[in-house]
């Protein structure tokens, strides 16, 4: 992968840049539906990076990874969530955050810089070249921003999306570091994601039926007297 | 040499003559999207004619600042038009007079005087709008600087005539993340800087909610014409920077003869038309942000600009 054609290399960088931008969208957006759309876009950019690296190395394996990603996260996952949580996903209501949006974005910026700061010495130490220099810091960025979303949101579905965004970040670094991971592992992972989404979806529905809300951040207090 | 001087003056003339037309087309298209007929595309020219033939009233309490400001806001965009590639893709006579940061300073000078003039009148609405414009302005400032720094870092130059060549030679540079992300950040910047939706509603006439329009409320007659014309020219100059320096550096004259340069005029206007259609789509599909959400919009643009810088600085 050291000798990528400049066009593919730049397109891969572009996918990486947009990957970070939509991760910021997941952090900062106020609507559940927009959050889901940003996640779908992020998975799409992950798949395109895998596809571009696959084209550069002419490896059918990475292209299969891209196809699995598109199938599981761009098509199946939104469909599953929409079936499970119809009104939840489609309502245009705004969701709350612990930290306000501009401050969240500044914190996210700090996390991005930190991701570069942590990975660059390591990349220099192993004298990595080519796609690794892009994908590893950006993947770590995706991981950090997903974790931050998980901490910052109080809503069930955005928390799930934060978790899955972390997984996307790990994958984004993975396609560059370990392009030869066995296909069965990728398949299992894609299946795992659907199971996680399914479980969280069912749980959220149960919480919604029980308490009338999906603000799971508000469930940390014990109340006397049962439901209203 | 003579040609280089003449072409440079021609650039300023193009911006001077066609900026009202661009605004007229924008307004007409917006009305058409709203299923109305709308005013003629030449209405801005008629407005200018009408205002120039009218008498002028000046507030008693105002000082020389109020009287000088229209000339400054009229001249500043013309000055910038000399520095940027409007028609040609090679440097013209005055290209090295100032770089992009210098052009930004000139536009900022006009904004500074417009703010002072708004405060100068003693009308309560003027200072209110001016302070809002400053709020958007100081949020926009770091984005401006980051965009310029990233551009000059990537292109090794701060002269816009040289920068534009960088994005298409080789063509793969066009897809560099620094380029695409800068485009997004700069687009958000233009929307904020020129008071378009979602930051400000340019067609709103309610003084309490105005941001960009309220600065020239007190002007009348020829001064109002100069303020309006200057604002339109600034809009066109920003669009041309976006289109010719950053987005599509094609369709410009590359030889020193008149036919090529004259052919570039319709091509550039065509690009501007495309951008205006895009702008109409944005403006028709978004609502105005609440005042305190503007900072969210601007911080998003800021973070995108920083990501552009990071991805270009560390990807070797």
pTM higher than 0.90 for the full model?
no
CB distance B303–A109 less than 8 Å? yes
Calpha distance A205→A198 (Å, rounded): 11
Chain B residues touching residue A138 (CB < 8 angstroms): 311
Q: What is the ipTM of this complex?
A: 0.82
CB distance B314–A116 less than 8 Å? yes
CB distance B306–A7 less than 8 Å? no
| Highest mean pLDDT pick, A77-91, B42-56, B194-208 | B42-56
CB distance A21–B184 less than 8 Å? yes
| Alpha helix (H) residue ranges in chain A | 6-28, 32-56, 60-69, 77-84, 86-90, 101-125, 131-152, 156-177, 183-211
Nearest chain A residue to B298 by CA: give it. Answer: A102
Calpha distance A124→A129 (Å, rounded): 9
To the nearest 10°, report the CA torsion of A206, A207, A213, A215: -140
Interface with chain B: mutation pick from A23, A38, A100, A105, highest number of B CBs within 10 Å: A105
pLDDT at B201: 75
In the beta sheet, which residues pair with residue B253? B88
3-class SS letters over chain B: CHHHHHHHHHHHHHHHHHHHHHHHHHHHHHHHHCCCCCCCCCHHHHHHHHHHCCCCCCCCCCCHHHHHHHHHHHHHHHHHHHHCCCCECCCCCCCCCCCHHHHHHHHHHHHHHHHHHHHHCCCCHHHHHHHHHHHHHHHHHHHHHHHHHHHHHHHCCCCHHHHHHHCCCCHHHHHCHHHHHHHHHHHHHHHHHCCCCCCCCCCCCCHHHCCCHHHHCCCCHHHHHHHHHHHHHHHHHHHHHHHHHHHCCCCCECCCCHHHHHHHHHHHHHHHHHHHHHHHHHHHHCCCCCHHHHHHHHHHHHHHHHHHHHHHHCCC
- B233 or A3, greater pLDDT: B233
> Is the model's pLDDT at B316 over the cut of 70?
no
Smallest Cα distance from B274 to chain A, Å: 24
- B117 or B290, greater pLDDT: B117
pLDDT at B251: 78
- B129 or A47, greater pLDDT: A47
The mean per-residue pLDDT over the stretch B62-67 comes to 88
| Highest mean pLDDT pick, B127-136, B238-247, B271-280 | B271-280
In chain B, the percentage of residues whose pLDDT exceeds 70 is: 97
Backbone conformation region of residue A213, classed left if phi is above 0, alpha if psi is from -120 to 50, else beta: beta
**B118 CB-contact burial (10 Å; exposed 0-12 / middle 13-18 / buried 19+):** buried
Q: Which of A205-219, B148-162, B225-239 is the least confident region?
A: A205-219
Q: Calculate the average pLDDT of chain B.
A: 85
Tell me the domain boundaries of chain A. Answer: 6-220
pLDDT at B34: 87
pLDDT at A1: 46
Put simply, whether A13 touches B (Cβ < 8 Å) is yes
Put simply, whether A20 touches B (Cβ < 8 Å) is yes
Give the largest Cα separation in chain A, rounded: 67
- B/e letters for B270-287, b = 16+ CB within 10 Å, e = fewer, are ebbbebbeebbeebeeee
Backbone conformation region of residue B35, classed left if phi is above 0, alpha if psi is from -120 to 50, else beta: left
pLDDT at B192: 85
CB distance A13–B295 less than 8 Å? no
Calpha distance B38→B44 (Å, rounded): 12
pLDDT bucket at B205, cuts 50 / 70 / 90: low
> Is the model's pLDDT at B49 over the cut of 90?
yes
CB distance A14–B314 less than 8 Å? no
Calpha distance A127→A76 (Å, rounded): 39
Nearest chain B residue to A8 by CA: give it. Answer: B172
Calpha distance B184→B191 (Å, rounded): 11
> Is the model's pLDDT at B217 over the cut of 60?
yes
Is residue A108 within 8 Å of B305, Cβ to Cβ? no
Calpha distance A132→A155 (Å, rounded): 34
pLDDT digits (tens, 9 = 90+) for B70-117: 999 999 999 999 888 888 888 888 888 888 888 888 988 988 898 888
- Beta-carbon contacts below 8 Å between A and B: 75
CB distance B296–A134 less than 8 Å? no
Smallest Cα distance from B177 to chain A, Å: 4
Interface with chain A: mutation pick from B146, B173, B303, B306, highest number of A CBs within 10 Å: B303
pLDDT at A3: 61
pLDDT digits (tens), chain A, 228 positions? 456 777 888 888 888 889 999 999 888 888 888 888 899 999 999 999 888 888 888 778 888 888 888 888 888 888 888 887 776 666 666 677 788 888 899 999 999 999 988 888 888 887 766 777 888 888 999 999 999 998 888 777 888 888 889 988 988 888 888 777 777 777 787 778 888 888 888 887 777 777 777 777 777 776 665 554
pLDDT at B275: 93
pLDDT at A91: 66
pLDDT at A228: 46
């Amino acid at each position: 992968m050291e000798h990528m054609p400049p066009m593919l290399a730049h397109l891969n960088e572009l996918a990486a840049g947009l990957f970070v931008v939509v991760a910021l969208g997941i952090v900062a957006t106020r609507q559940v539906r927009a959050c889901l759309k940003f996640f779908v876009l992020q998975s799409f950019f992950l798949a395109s990076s895998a596809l571009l690296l696959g084209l550069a190395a002419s490896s059918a394996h990475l292209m299969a990874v891209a196809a699995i990603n598109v199938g599981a996260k761009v098509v199946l996952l939104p469909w599953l969530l929409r079936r499970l949580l119809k009104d939840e996903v489609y309502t245009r209501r705004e969701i709350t955050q612990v930290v306000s949006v501009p401050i969240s974005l500044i914190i996210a910026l700090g996390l991005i810089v930190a991701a570069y700061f942590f990975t660059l010495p390591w990349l220099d130490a192993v004298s990595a070249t080519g796609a690794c220099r892009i994908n590893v810091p950006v993947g770590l960025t995706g991981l950090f921003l997903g974790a931050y979303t998980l901490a910052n949101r109080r809503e069930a579905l955005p928390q799930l999306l934060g978790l899955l965004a972390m997984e996307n970040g790990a994958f984004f670094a993975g396609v560059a570091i370990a392009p030869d991971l066995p296909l069965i592992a990728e398949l299992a992972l894609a299946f795992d994601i659907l199971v996680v989404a399914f479980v969280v979806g069912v749980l959220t529905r149960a919480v919604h039926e029980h308490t009338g809300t999906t603000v799971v951040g508000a469930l940390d207090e014990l109340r006397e007297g049962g439901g209203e | 040499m003579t040609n280089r001087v003449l072409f440079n003056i021609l650039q300023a003339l193009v911006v001077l003559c066609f900026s009202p037309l661009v605004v007229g087309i924008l307004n007409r298209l917006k009305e058409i999207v709203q299923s109305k007929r709308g005013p003629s595309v030449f209405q801005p020219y008629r407005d200018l004619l009408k205002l120039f033939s009218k008498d002028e009233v000046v507030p008693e309490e105002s000082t020389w600042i109020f009287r000088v400001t229209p000339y400054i806001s009229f001249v500043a965009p013309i000055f910038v038009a000399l520095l940027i590639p409007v028609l040609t893709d090679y440097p013209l006579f005055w290209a090295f007079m100032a770089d992009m940061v210098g052009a930004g300073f000139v536009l900022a000078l006009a904004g500074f005087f417009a703010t002072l003039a708004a405060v100068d009148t003693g009308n309560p609405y003027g200072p209110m709008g001016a302070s809002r414009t400053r709020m958007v302005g100081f949020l926009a400032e770091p984005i401006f600087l980051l965009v310029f720094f990233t551009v000059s870092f990537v292109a090794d130059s701060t002269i816009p005539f040289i920068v534009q060549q960088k994005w298409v030679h080789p063509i793969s540079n066009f897809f560099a993340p620094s380029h695409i992300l800068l485009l997004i950040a700069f687009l958000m910047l233009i929307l904020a800087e020129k008071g378009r939706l979602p930051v400000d509603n340019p067609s709103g006439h309610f003084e309490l909610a105005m941001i960009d329009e309220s600065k020239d409320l007190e002007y009348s007659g020829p001064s109002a014409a100069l303020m309006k014309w200057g604002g339109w020219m600034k809009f066109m100059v920003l669009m041309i920077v976006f289109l010719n320096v950053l987005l599509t550096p094609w369709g410009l004259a590359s030889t020193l003869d008149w036919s090529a340069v004259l052919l570039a005029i319709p091509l550039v206007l065509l690009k501007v038309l495309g951008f205006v259609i895009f702008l109409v789509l944005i403006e028709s599909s978004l609502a105005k942000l609440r005042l305190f959400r503007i900072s969210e919009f601007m911080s998003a643009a800021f973070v995108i600009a920083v990501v552009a810088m990071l991805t270009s600085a560390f990807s070797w």
